[in-house]
Structure 1
């Protein structure tokens, strides 16, 4: 796979993982919770994953449109901590808005 195709493939997988986890990376960047540099670093981490086939399978088994929410990415996900942090920040923001 060419370098550009590999980057595009991992960018798509990373975005899909975020969607499954109910995270909109574009919105996170717009809200200032994620910078362009953070996104690039996440993509580099994703391209370094040792289990892309397992990730592809995991993603195929989880639909972002399902009502049942997935609590966290698989343990091997190189962006697991970032996704969990973003998800917690979004949840905290939603909770504070519902209290107001």
Structure 2
């Protein structure tokens, strides 16, 4: 697995956690298919500014509490919104 793919998998997982989405539960309950998960990570790799995403995550994690939604530029914002409980 490439380092870039791993970096974006981590960013996507962190983003899901920040907006209150449990990816493991979504997979377990059938709300998210394994192919959808890898597709989301691939969409994340197309992000033009992953450093800004990482900064947003770092700041929001430092502030605590979940966020309602990822930043507007997130390529997976609609997917994450649909997966929210």
* TM class by smaller structure: over 0.9
Tell which structure's C-alpha radius of gyration is larger: 1
Structure 1: segments with no counterpart, 5+ residues: 91-100
Could you list the structure 1 runs, at least 4 aligned residues long, displaced by more than 6 angstroms after superposition.
none
CA-based RMSD: 1.7
Partner of 2:82: 85
> Which consecutive unaligned segments of at least 5 residues does structure 2 have?
none
Q: Greater relative contact order (Cα 8 A, min sep 6): structure 1 or 2?
A: 2
TM-score by length of 2: 0.92
Q: How many residues align?
A: 85
* 1:61 alignment partner, SS class: helix
TM-score (norm 1): 0.79
